[in-house]
Amino acid sequence: MELHDVWFVLIAVLWTGYFFLEGFDFGIGVLTKLLARDRKERRVLINTIGPVWDGNEVWLLSAGGATFAAFPEWYATLFSGFYLPLLIILVCLIVRGVAFEYRAKRPEERWQTNWEHAIFWTSLVPAVLWGVAFGNIVRGVKIDADMEYVGNLWDLLNPYALLGGLVTLFLFTFHGAVFAALKTVGDIRGRARALAVKLGVATAVLALVFLVLTQLDNGDGWSLAALVIAAVSLVGAIGAIAAGREGWSFALSGVTIAATVTMLFLTLFPNVMPSSLNDAWNLTVTNASSSGYTLTIMTWCAGIATPLVLLYQGWTYWVFRKRIGTQHIADPH
Amino acid sequence: MDLALAPETLARWQFGITTVYHFLFVPLTISLAALTAGLQTAWVRTDNEKYLRATKFWGKLFLINIAMGVVTGIVQEFQFGMNWSDYSRFVGDVFGAPLAFEALIAFFFESTFIGLWIFGWDKLPKKIHLACIWMVSLGTILSTFFILAANSWMQHPVGYRINEERGRAELTDFLKVLTQDTALTQFFHTITAAFLVGGAFMVGISAFHLARKRHIPVMRTSLRVGLVTVVVAGMLTAVSGDTLGKVMFKQQPMKMAAAEALWEGEDGAPFSLFAVGDVAKGHNDVEISIPGVLSFLSDNTFTSHVPGINDINEQLQETYGPGDYRPNIPVAFWSFRWMIGFGMASFGLGLLGLWLTRRKFLLPPALRTGEDEVPHLVLFRNKALSPKFTRLYWITALWTMLFPLIANSWGWIFTEMGRQPWVVFGVFQTRDAVSPGVSQGEVLTSMIGFTALYAILAVIEVKLLVKYVKAGPPELTEADLNPPKRIGGHDEDDADRPMAFSY
């Protein structure tokens, strides 16, 4: 396994970390309208991710930065090619971060309601768009001989990619509902479980169609194995939450996300961004990667930093391990 | 295509707007993180409640500010790929690494520990909670270091080779990229300038409350901390700026000549206080200058030769082929002056403030004040300033609070625009750096989108800051004074107690 292959794996790891962590963040954001019945419950949900959402989002910055360093051509083609969807994601992430921090900083009803609308939409939209983006990456887009994206916005909004967007939206919302059940106490916990089961079933249907299409298009034995793991763990996660085993369900929905990302990356390899115009124009781990020296340095950095990050971020979750209920939320200040 | 709307022009405007805007929050974040951590340390060590109240007050303003810094930083990470894809392709092998290091090391630190700090008041023992804000501070400083190493490589590329076959720059010596003198001096200058911003911010807001005789113990301490920070940081900013000027003079002589609008080379070159140049004809029409100072700034002697813009342009043409290698001279000239002017004005006011509020051993007993009194402002021995002048000082401190921030912005505009037409000096020009596949409409959309969004957020942020500034330090609660002894919070018997902080 050469260094650029290692980095292909590491990029997949960073995206897995991002979708696992911000996945339930986005889910919680969407659930503020689906699950919470009043402002206090909305606040319960928001506060389950309060201390951690910012750290979770850094997984995206790391995936972006690492792609820039390890696969500059991939970074350049992807972000200039998917310009407008990425712009929308960035705008959402900006508003979303500010919404979390500023929502409770004024007592006025309208102020808080506005930021709550913002949290819902800016969680929902990126949850969809990341799926659309990855659907397009896996399917291949119009890339010319100079590695430039030559399609337009409408090319990105094809049925397969849109289905991918629905899959990530439902998967993240399901993951978020399981997280909500795991982190809350009281009435909302029971409702989170019940809603999780429904969301889980919908996710299973959508994900199965999407992953089978992906497998038929581009799969091999390995990707089939990942597909099976994703499917089994998703069914397990639904079963576990139905049985009230929240911890197990959350672990399994996490496995579903990891297996899904793994499967997408397995169908990609050795490409990083295939061209739908000509196979010779594919961006691959070889023609898109950095020099051996840069990859070596990056490997040292990621090899040391990533386990440390997992350690101290894991510790954060332990510090904030207590469940939250409406009784823990002080009245508006 | 209309040049004013060419993708390169638009992309540059967008980069300028988003970066200057982002950097409005950065210096305050860097300095307030450390200053808040310092105040909290004072509380942990002395148990004096005024320090805890100060920590909570400045900490709140810090959080309102860092929220904006974090979210506007996300754009920075991605816009290289969006608007500058050819730049990314060319330099990614070198430039990407410090960015990735910044994310993997600094951003994770900062954002994880800030969550722990915000929500950890009733979850962590005192000292561990204190360690969290120091970790945030460390994160901000590491982040500054990595991003400035990346920027310094654009100012003065080292530790790389050009791979002709792949048509790109490749890293050969990462340590050199991190430790070259450009990176170290830029880091030194940026950090000290950041503390100048935080110090002046503290002074201004403390002055606001002291003028109204409110929250005196907390604001007295804060004023003192702020003034000392301004003076120390101001001095170091001047020293580091001088060092950086000399480094720049060697590495980018064009930038230094442009900073002075020095068209023809001179021995004992002067420092112009004011100049109106005729760019097309290549000379100044009006100029007021002090002889010898530019030579000193560049080379430590009052007589050495400083080459002029026209000489350097010719040299560059010989080296890199035909072309115009001059940056926008008026912008370089004025931004350099505004940077120094605003920065040093703030330093001078800080020095004055420190003298006016000097403590006992320099002050006759009659003028000494206690913890609960607004300090007398004493210019000359034995006599406090009249109420009118006292008020004038407080008002000046408040209204000049943002001077260092203005200086920071002009400093960045100077160093980035002074490097033009290069994006990587001597290696890669800005016009070759834009994304060829991105349309004018797309760049225009994102530029207008970001500008509008940023304008709205600025209004919201400033209003919030004003609200919390006016509210003053919070009263302490029972919970504040009894932090938990174990990690995770108090024992189960009060499991239903509300969280100390919740969104």
E strand or H helix that includes residue B169: strand B168-171
Q: In this complex, do B64 and A318 lie within 8 Å of one another by their Cβ atoms?
A: no
Please give the Cα distance from A237 to A81 (Å, whole number).
Answer: 36
Helix (H) or strand (E) holding B423: strand B422-424
Pairwise pLDDT comparison (A200 vs B257), residue with the higher score = A200
**ipTM metric:** 0.94
Instruction: For residues B214 and B496, give the distance between their C-alpha atoms in angstroms, rounded to a whole number.
Output: 36
| Partners of residue B112 in chain A, C-beta under 8 Å | 52, 54-55, 58, 309, 312-313, 316
Residue B364 φ/ψ, nearest 5 degrees: -65, 150
Residues composing chain B = 503
d(CA B200, CA B61) in angstroms, rounded, equals 14
Interface of A with B in 91-130 (CB under 8 A): 91, 93-95, 97-98, 100-106
* Greatest pairwise CA separation for chain A in angstroms: 62
**Beta-carbon separation of A291 and B489 below 8 A:** no
Report chain B's terminal Cα–Cα distance, integer Å: 49
CA distance linking residue B159 with residue B171, whole number of Å = 6
Q: Distance between CA A152 and CA A82 in Å, rounded?
A: 9
Alpha helix positions (H), B384-498:
387-399, 403-417, 440-471, 478-481
Has residue B287 got a pLDDT over 80?
A: no
Note the pLDDT of residue B385: 86
Q: How many CB atoms lie within 10 A of CB B425?
A: 19
Selecting from A54, A72, A86 the residue whose C-beta is nearest the C-beta of B111 gives A54
Q: Please write down the HEC assignment for all residues of chain A.
A: CCHHHHHHHHHHHHHHHHHHHHHHHHHHHHHHHHCCCCHHHHHHHHHHHCCCHHHHHHHHHHHHHHHHHHCHHHHHHHHHHCHHHHHHHHHHHHHHHHHHHHHHHCCCHHHHHHHHHHHHHHHHHHHHHHHHHHHHHHHCECECCCCCECCCHHHHCCHHHHHHHHHHHHHHHHHHHHHHHHHECCHHHHHHHHHHHHHHHHHHHHHHHHHHHHHHHHCCHHHHHHHHHHHHHHHHHHHHHHCCCHHHHHHHHHHHHHHHHHHHHHHHCCEEECECCCHHHCEECCCCCCCHHHHHHHHHHHHHHHHHHHHHHHHHHHHCCCCECHHHCCCCC
Rounded mean pLDDT, A6-32: 96
B457: confidence class by pLDDT, cuts 50, 70, 90: very high
Instruction: Tokens for B168, please give them.
Output: 């790109």
Report strand pairing: B428-429 vs B422-424. antiparallel
pLDDT band at B53 (very low <50, low <70, confident <90, very high): very high
Residues of A in Cβ contact (< 8 Å) with B88: 68, 72, 75-76, 79
Q: What are phi and psi of B189, to 5 degrees?
A: -65, -45
- Are residues A137 and A78 in contact, defined by beta-carbon separation less than 8 angstroms? yes
Of the pLDDT bands very low, low, confident and very high (cuts 50, 70, 90), residue B2 is low
For residue B111, the chain A residues in CB contact (below 8 A) are: 54-55, 57-58
Q: In 3-state terms, what secondary structure has residue B361?
A: helix
CB contact under 8 A, A81 and B170: no
Residue B192: CB atoms within 10 A of its CB come to 21
User: For residues A5 and A110, what is the distance between their CA atoms, to the nearest angstrom?
Assistant: 51
Q: Does the structure show a pLDDT above 80 at B216?
A: yes
Chain A residue numbers with beta carbons less than 8 Å from the beta carbon of B118 are 50-51
Task: Say yes or no for a CB contact (<8 Å) between B464 and A102.
Answer: yes
Q: Which of the 8 DSSP states describes residue B52?
A: H
Query: Residues 158..217 of A with a Cβ closer than 8 Å to B: which?
Result: none
Asked if A330 and B118 come within 8 Å (Cβ–Cβ), the reply is no
Tokens 């004055």 found at: B352
**Amino acid found at A210:** F
Closest by Cα among A182, A152, A304, A175 to A238: A175
Q: Are B402 and B191 in contact (CB under 8 A)?
A: no
* Identity of the residue numbered B10: L
Does residue B277 register a pLDDT over 80? no
pLDDT at residue number B494: 66
DSSP state of B269: P
How far apart CA A132 and CA B349 sit, in angstroms, is 55
Q: Is the peptide bond before A270 cis (omega within 30 degrees of 0)?
A: yes
B155 Cβ contact partners less than 8 Å away, ≥ 6 residues apart? B182, B186, B248, B251, B252, B415, B419, B425
Provide mean pLDDT across the span A279-290.
94
Q: Are A75 and A64 in contact (CB under 8 A)?
A: yes
Q: What is the mean pLDDT of residues A13-27?
A: 96
Q: How confident is the model over B301-325, as pLDDT tens digits?
A: 777 788 889 999 999 999 999 999 9
For residues A84 and B78, is the Cβ–Cβ distance under 8 A?
no
CB contact under 8 A, B445 and A87: yes
The answer to whether the Cβ–Cβ distance between B71 and A146 falls below 8 Å is: no
Q: Give every CB contact of residue A311 below 8 A, 6+ residues apart in sequence.
A: none
Say if the Cβ atoms of A149 and B437 lie within 8 Å.
Answer: yes
Contact B74, A61 (CB under 8 A): yes
Mean pLDDT of B201-206: 97
Q: What is the pLDDT of residue B1?
A: 45
Distance CA B76, CA B19 (A): 7
Query: Pseudo-torsion of CA A95, A100, A105, A107, nearest 10°?
Result: 100
For chains A and B, CB pairs below 8 A equal 253
Q: Which pLDDT belongs to residue B15?
A: 94
Q: Closest to A302 (Cβ–Cβ): which among B83, B102, B104?
A: B104
At A305 the pLDDT is: 94
Task: Please check whether residue B18 is in contact with residue B68, taking contact to mean a CB–CB distance below 8 angstroms.
Answer: no
Q: B152-201 pLDDT, tens per residue? A: 999 999 999 999 999 999 999 999 999 999 999 999 999 999 999 999 99
pLDDT on residue A256: 97
Ranges of each domain in chain B: 3-252+327-493, 258-310
The whole-angstrom separation of Cα A305 and Cα A310 is 9
Q: How confident is the model at residue A271 (pLDDT cuts 50, 70, 90)?
A: very high
The DSSP symbol for B367 reads G
Contacts of B468 in chain A (CB under 8 A): 105
Long-range contacts of B111-114 (CB under 8 A, 24+ apart): B111/A54, B111/A55, B111/A57, B111/A58, B111/B70, B111/B139, B112/A52, B112/A54, B112/A55, B112/A58, B112/A309, B112/A312, B112/A313, B112/A316, B113/A312, B113/B139, B114/A54, B114/B63, B114/B66
What kind and span of H or E run contains B286?
Answer: strand B283-290
If DSSP states are collapsed to H, E and C, what string results for B388-418? HHHHHHHHHHHHCCCHHHHHHHHHHHHHHHC
Tell me the mean pLDDT in the region B368-396. 87
Of B80, B83, B115, the CB nearest to A68: B80
Would you place residue B280 in the very low, low, confident or very high pLDDT band (cuts 50, 70, 90)? low
Distance from CA of B411 to the nearest CA of A (A): 26
Cα–Cα distance measured from residue A249 to residue A246, given in angstroms and rounded to the nearest whole number: 5
Identify whether B421 is preceded by a cis peptide bond (ω within 30 of 0). Answer: yes
A-chain residues near B478 (CB < 8 A): none
Judged by DSSP in three states, B273 sits in strand
